[in-house]
A and B are shown apart, each in its own frame.
Chain A
Amino acid sequence: MSAAPVTLTEDELRRLKAPARRERLFRIASYFSPLLLLLLWELSSQFNLIDRRFFPAPSAIAGTAWRMTVSLELFQHIGATLRRVGIGYVMGAVPGIVMGLILGLSRPARRVLGPIFAALYPVPKIAILPLILLIFGVGDASKFVVIAIGVFFLMFYNTMGGVMQTPQIYMDVARNAGATRFQTFRRIAFPAALPSIFTGLKLAAGSSYIIIAAAEFLGARSGVGFFIWASWQTFAVSRMFVGIVVISVMGYLTILALEALERRFVPWAKH
């Protein structure tokens, strides 16, 4: 098929392209609109429209952040939090994915074991933190466990959902090709569930940071959560804001990294 030569007038072309041009403008504006909020905050604080003791100006927070970065004080806390989240995340995600695949594929396993997970899932992870501290002590082990529990359920339910939504035709293809049960598991159920697994991984990353912040408030001597809580107790408000920004950025970057992995490993899904 060959396109007809363009024989439109200047004016027609301009009108034809106008919506696309407007769309580009909106996109540029969308990058700056969050900054507008920051600017509003800065001005409100500078002109004493809001209480500076509770809401120090963003410029003041940035100054504190800079000093803490130079003194390397921040990195020790970031490192401690990252280690806990990383280890707990893997401890929860791997068994969550495996159990999700098993229960997704096997109706008997789902019927028998499903209710156990359904009963445990709604327990708030923070609510059992004291119990976990009792069992695993105040060290890092208790942090790994509480994160692992939170991550496990998200991975379990997302993976199982992904497997159960696998079109029957893919299972038929495997069966007709002579796949064993394990081959069906590895070559069909797992890749079919990958998009859901990545959804779970992203949700679990977000919830890991929520859990670690709370866990470090209560029982830790390091970590960003501890730092936020300690700053609040000493009324070092701008340090506290630095902690809040740091942990938010950590969560954001983790999700960006997972999205990059998703594009790499799930190239067939729409992003």
Chain B
Amino acid sequence: MATVQEAVRPAAMQQAQPAIEVSHLTKAFYDSEGDRVTLAVSDVSFSVARGEFVCIVGPSGCGKTTVLRILAGLEEKLSGTVKLHSATPPAMVFQEASVLPWLTVSENIAFPLSLKGVSRARQDARVRDMLALTGLAEFATARPHQLSGGMKQRVSVARALVDDREILLMDEPFGALDEQTRLVLQQELLRIWETTGKTVVFITHSVDEALTLADRVLVMSPRPGTLISNLTVPFERPRDVVEMRRDKRFWDMTYEVWRLLASPARA
């Protein structure tokens, strides 16, 4: 059973055609007041296969968010190349509450569609699907200030999925949530990913979140951020986020990643 699932994993199947290719990416910031240059990302290269779920893990300030913002086109790179093989621009799920407070849940989800002159009927149909997919059906007309942090992040995910882009970029979307809510949303995200088949790049500072979700984990060193490891996560899919914690390999890998992150020599 497990081997069959292994075989149909999109990552294993379509390794040949990458969705994202990043090579020698470097990014620095210049602070004119202190005349200081900060090297945020240094010579980062990786690629992500179509339909693959990749997590980038690293300590705060290691430049992982910067990498994601460059992929999203929200930040200019300094040098290197970034290639996205996709017909649509990537959709982003942001770190903190990015839900627009003046719109209802439905209006927030419809936002990307409403900008492109999609018909009302089509918008409503898509929003209904997204509400159902993300478990928000009862909250369609709620205002963001009436929602919990977890619910708001569901709205962010729904909004990123609504116009069906091929690549999904997630910037520590569950970072501010409590552990229980986080586990629930991780399970939901896996279910959504399995039904939509998106290419996902997911940033997190949590090692076990990365191992729970990803096909592959890229480990970044502290600033200036550079890739120090590229680990394939062996667990079969579909995954149960609680059950997989009984697997000894989960803890062995957790240990391995922690050792990498803790090593001052940057293996």
Q: Could you list which residues of chain A lie within 8 angstroms of chain B, going by C-beta atoms? A: 169-170, 172-173, 175-180, 183, 187-188, 191-192, 194, 266-268
Contacts of A172 in B (CB 8 A): 74, 92, 94, 98
The one of B97, B112, B144 in contact with A177, judged by C-beta atoms closer than 8 angstroms, is B112
Q: Which of B43-93 contact A (CB under 8 A)?
A: 72-74, 89-92
> Which residues on the B side are within 8 Å of A267 (C-beta)?
143
In the bound complex, do residue A176 and residue B74 qualify as a contact, i.e. CB atoms below 8 Å apart? yes
Interface string of B111-133 (1 = CB under 8 A from A): 11011100000000000000000
Report yes or no: A191 in contact with B100, Cβ–Cβ below 8 A.
yes
Q: Which of A169, A170, A177, A179 has the most CB of B within 10 A?
A: A177
Q: Is there contact, CB below 8 Å, between A194 and B102?
A: yes
- Beyond A178-B89, A178-B112, A192-B102: 11 further Cβ-contacts under 8 Å? A169-B96, A170-B98, A172-B74, A173-B98, A175-B74, A176-B90, A177-B163, A180-B115, A183-B115, A188-B100, A191-B102
B101 at the A/B interface (Cβ < 8 Å)?
yes
A177: chain B residues within 8 A (beta carbon)? 111-112, 115, 159, 163
**A176–B102 CB distance below 8 A:** no
* A173 pairs with B94, CB closer than 8 A: yes
Min CB gap A184→B, angstroms: 9
The reply to whether A173 and B100 form a contact with Cβ atoms under 8 Å apart is yes
Secondary structure type dominating chain B contacts: loop
Distance in angstroms from A135 CB to nearest chain B CB is 41
Q: How far is the CB of B53 from chain A (nearest CB, A)?
A: 20
Separation of A172 and B73 alpha carbons in the complex (Å): 10
B92 x A176 contact (CB < 8 A): yes
Checking B101, B115, B144 against A187 with a beta-carbon cut-off of 8 angstroms, the contacting residue is: B115
Cβ of A179 and Cβ of B115 under 8 Å apart?
yes
Interface size on B, residues (CB 8 A): 24
Binding site for A on B (CB under 8 A): 72-74, 89-92, 94, 96-98, 100-102, 111-112, 114-116, 143-145, 159, 163
Do residues A268 and B91 form an inter-chain contact, with CB atoms below 8 A? no
Considering the chains assembled together, what is the distance between the CA atoms of A180 and B115 in angstroms? 8
Known A176-B72, A178-B112, A187-B115; contact A268-B101, beta-carbon cutoff 8 A: yes
Tell me the minimal C-beta distance from B66 to chain A in angstroms: 13
Closest 9 CB pairs of A and B: A177-B112, A191-B102, A268-B101, A176-B92, A169-B98, A173-B98, A179-B115, A183-B115, A268-B102
A170 and B111 contact, CB distance less than 8 A: no
Closest to A183 in B: B115
CA distance A188 to B114 in the complex (A): 13
21 A-B residue pairings within 8 Å (CB atoms): A169-B94, A169-B96, A169-B97, A172-B92, A173-B98, A175-B74, A176-B72, A176-B89, A176-B92, A177-B111, A177-B159, A177-B163, A183-B115, A187-B111, A191-B102, A192-B102, A194-B102, A266-B102, A268-B102, A268-B144, A268-B145
CA distance A175 to B92 in the complex (A): 10
CA distance A92 to B116 in the complex (A): 34
Q: What is the bound-complex CA distance between A173 and B159, given in angstroms?
A: 10
Cα distance A187–B113 in the bound complex, in angstroms = 13
Nearest-CB residue, chain A, relative to B95? A169
A259, chain B: closest CB distance, angstroms: 18
CB neighbours of B159 from chain A (8 A): 177
Q: Roughly how many angstroms separate A183 CA and B100 CA in the complex, as a whole number?
A: 14
Least distance between B76 CB and chain A CB atoms (Å): 13
Q: Is the CB of B92 within 8 A of A170?
A: no
- Residues of B contacting A188 with CB < 8 Å? 100
- B90 CB to closest chain A CB (Å) equals 8
B100/A178 in contact, CB under 8 A: no
| Bound-state Cα–Cα, A188 to B98, Å | 12
With a cutoff of 8 Å between Cβ atoms, the chain A residues found around residue B72 in the complex are 176
B11 to chain A, nearest CB (A): 25
Central interface residue in B115, B144, B163, by most chain A CB within 10 Å: B115
